[in-house]
Amino acid sequence: MAQMGPISRRDTLQGIGAVGAAGLLNSVGAAPAAASEKKPRGISGKTRANPAVVEKVFQTPLIDTHEHLIEEKDRLAGAAHRRARTDDWSLLLNHYLDSDLAVAGMSGDTYDRFFSPETDPVDKWKLLEPYWPAVKNTGYGQAVRIAMRRLYDVDDLSAATVKKVQAGYEKTRQAGFYRRILCDMARIESCQVNYLGAPFGESDMPTLLMQDISIVGMFNGPDLDGFGKPTGIEVHSLSDWYGVMDWWFEKYGKYAVAVKSQDAYHRDIDYEQVPAEKVEGIFKKRLADEPLTDEEQKSLEDHLFWQAVQKATEHNLPVKLHTGYYAGHNYMPLGRLLHNAGSVTDLCRAAPDTRFVFMHICYPYYEELLAAAKHYANAYVDMCWAWIINPVAAKDFLKKFLVTAPANKILTFGGDYIPVEPVLGHATIARQGIALALSELVEEGWLSQADAMDLIDPIMHGNARSIFNLAEKTRVLQNAPWA
């Protein structure tokens, strides 16, 4: 657990202020963003925000159960890392606001110039300007604006402020900025990183940037080189591949908080339990680079998925699965996603001893996921990413969850970002949504004020501590060989 200083009301207000007139604390009649008043003036009568709930939610530490953060040292190295394609203020828009820009009509050529490290950072405003009004109010847009407000003290991005934004970017991006942003400003106790580029990331900050083991390459493909080569095991048969999978769990299982798969980006999560005898020959064909039929490919993936899930369960690691909405633009087949929630229930029945964490509220099919979480003891829901996909739907989901399914089954925040800066904006939006969801439940008479207050600690960090066994993981990670 990271040490954190007290949060000032000013910090809270600065974050919220970027949301403008819709900002929560402004709407409850608190001081405007620039002021430093110590206490809110009380409810205006036009809002449903409950001041005691708001106060507590903004002071309570979050555990961030899903990120893709690259290491701080890689950020400090400039645009060298392949996940940090530029090293100026446009990086804050690169993940995920870039998709809203493309969907709003930004051409591929303009997009490439906007995110190019070759383009002068100040000139980038002109490229963005025609599309900014269309994207600045989406969840992706608001997360970036809040980050810019709190980090660079800029009310909004414009021709007049772009120089100050770039200067703020450079001043912020200095050694120690991960802890400053995550711990001091966003009040995040620890993150859970799904490292992109290796099955497990050996972080320089192992107890802050805790890690999942990425299992997707164990069965999707499978990724013979990415997983096989580091083990030194020569793979000639299915049982050799089991050995490769075991190697990763033996080496990293005790340090990892969970295993994670985003396989739902290329198929439904309808994994059937296929016996080894049926796939041994298929795996040999795969090793020989012979083409597989769709049916053979699915059988192989299904079999290996369950092998990975069994290993994770033996190591007491929850299994995090992507469900619902796709990052990116112009390719998502919504018809496939429609089946995710049904498949979730099949998985829960097939492996009652496995704890499944279903990510992103299966957006937009979140009502169905609510039913799954209510019905299955081994189904957990992680709201990671959801607050910026659709902040209003996420608030709606949380409200419904708390009066439908047991409250110890929900994880309320994961930034899901590669760059660290917008995590700050996302955390502010999440806090706003959590505070509003609880306030509305009180106002509508579904919860007492005391019950709402009691839910804040568990849903913001208590559940994560217990589901992922974080006290024990912290102890082990403090002594990791790379720590």
Burial class (CB in 10 A: 0-12, 13-18, 19+), 104: middle
Q: How many residues bind Zn ion (CB under 5 A)?
A: 1
State which residue, 58 or 200, has the beta carbon closest to Zn ion: 200
> Least distance from C-beta 468 to Zn ion, angstroms?
16
**Which DSSP state fits 424?**
H
State which residue, 72 or 416, has the beta carbon closest to Zn ion: 416
Nearest residue to Zn ion, by Cβ distance, number only? 416
> Quick check: 148 and 33 in contact, CB under 8 A?
no
> Least distance from C-beta 64 to Zn ion, angstroms?
12
> Least distance from C-beta 89 to Zn ion, angstroms?
23
State which residue, 82 or 349, has the beta carbon closest to Zn ion: 82
> Quick check: 51 and 438 in contact, CB under 8 A?
no
209 bridge partner residues: 191
100 touches Zn ion (CB under 5 A): no
> Least distance from C-beta 196 to Zn ion, angstroms?
9
- Backbone angle region of 394, left / alpha / beta, with phi > 0 → left and psi within -120 to 50 → alpha: alpha
> Least distance from C-beta 252 to Zn ion, angstroms?
19
User: Pattern of binders to Zn ion over 404-423, x per CB under 5 A?
Assistant: ------------x-------
> Least distance from C-beta 454 to Zn ion, angstroms?
30
- CA 25 to chain centroid, in Å, comes to 25
Residues 46 and 41: their CA atoms lie apart, in Å, by 14
> Least distance from C-beta 194 to Zn ion, angstroms?
6
State which residue, 321 or 436, has the beta carbon closest to Zn ion: 321
> Least distance from C-beta 479 to Zn ion, angstroms?
28
Residues 209 and 202: their CA atoms lie apart, in Å, by 9
Cα separations in angstroms, 64 against 139, 291, 334, 342: 18, 41, 27, 27
> Quick check: 320 and 257 in contact, CB under 8 A?
no
State which residue, 152 or 417, has the beta carbon closest to Zn ion: 417
> Least distance from C-beta 261 to Zn ion, angstroms?
11
State which residue, 55 or 67, has the beta carbon closest to Zn ion: 67
Q: Which two tokens stand for residue 394?
A: 């996420």
CB environment 219-258: b (16+ within 10 A), e (fewer): bbbbbeebbbeebebebeebeebbebbbbbbeebbebbbb
User: Pattern of binders to Zn ion over 367-406, x per CB under 5 A?
Assistant: ----------------------------------------
State which residue, 92 or 442, has the beta carbon closest to Zn ion: 92
Window 226 to 245, contacts with Zn ion (CB under 5 A): none
Q: Which two tokens stand for residue 51?
A: 């001041």
Q: Which two tokens stand for residue 170?
A: 């450079």
State which residue, 191 or 434, has the beta carbon closest to Zn ion: 191
State which residue, 302 or 416, has the beta carbon closest to Zn ion: 416
For 357, residues 6+ apart whose C-beta sits below 8 A from its C-beta are 65, 258, 318, 319, 320, 321, 380, 381, 382, 411, 467
Burial class (CB in 10 A: 0-12, 13-18, 19+), 430: buried
Instruction: List interacting residues with Zn ion (CB under 5 A).
Output: 416
